[in-house]
Amino acid sequence: MKLHREGYLIITIGLLILIGIQFLNLLLWMAVGWLWLFIVLTIGVLVMAYLIVQFFRIPKIVFRGEDRDIISPADGKVVVIEEVEEYEYFNDRRIQISIFMSPLNVHANFNPISGLVKYVKYHAGLFLVAWHPKSSTDNERTTFVVEHPSGKEVMHRQIAGAVARRICYYVQPGDAVKAGEEYGFIKFGSRIDLLLPLDTKINVQIGDKVKGRVTKIGEIQ
């Protein structure tokens, strides 16, 4: 496991603050002698340090998907599977699969398919809770479209939530990408939407917990 580069500054600042809090905790214990309070606050500091570090963890995973597999772009839970009208790029109907990422999930994002990046667009917006039905169209988000070697195109969106306030991405139109490679990161609770061709074979159900670079979402036909 390694730590994501987006977390270096936050981890450093967070740990310095927690060290300061623990130092004050030690001074308080020495002044009043309340061991129980010192233990409680120490446990709280350790828990916060763990949560800050684990949020930016990147587990070491060897990607083993097949050529036409659509791989989960993030860790999380499938909260939506439905047919929708897509107006931003395709202007036709697509199967939308939405993955909710809690603050405890790994928040790096990975390419769901291999191919050529045809479209990238950032949209400023609101910060509705990530499971809100309008978060896909009203929240701050970045949309990507990748064309598979078969000619089929897959859209995926990074969507900010009520807590997530920064979307990071590292690809541009014209880039050749590989399934399972990292393309971005969302800081603190968020959501990823996949917009797939109607003939896509779907391999997940609502409520399924999925793992980035591991879970097969579907298969391009």
Residue 221 is encoded by which pair of tokens?
A: 């036909």
| H or E element at residue 96 | strand 92-101
Angle at 71 between CA 105 and CA 65, to 5 degrees: 120
- Using the Cα atoms of residue 211, residue 181, residue 2 and residue 103 in order, give the sign of their dihedral: negative
Which residues fall within 8 angstroms of residue 152, CB to CB, at 6 or more apart? 197, 220, 221
Active site includes 136? no
Selected catalytic residue, list 72, 98, 136, 190:
190
What DSSP assignment string belongs to 29-92?
HHHH--HHHHHHHHHHHHHHHHHHHHHTEE--------TTEEE-SSSEEEEEEEEEEETTTT-E
As annotated, the active-site residues are 190
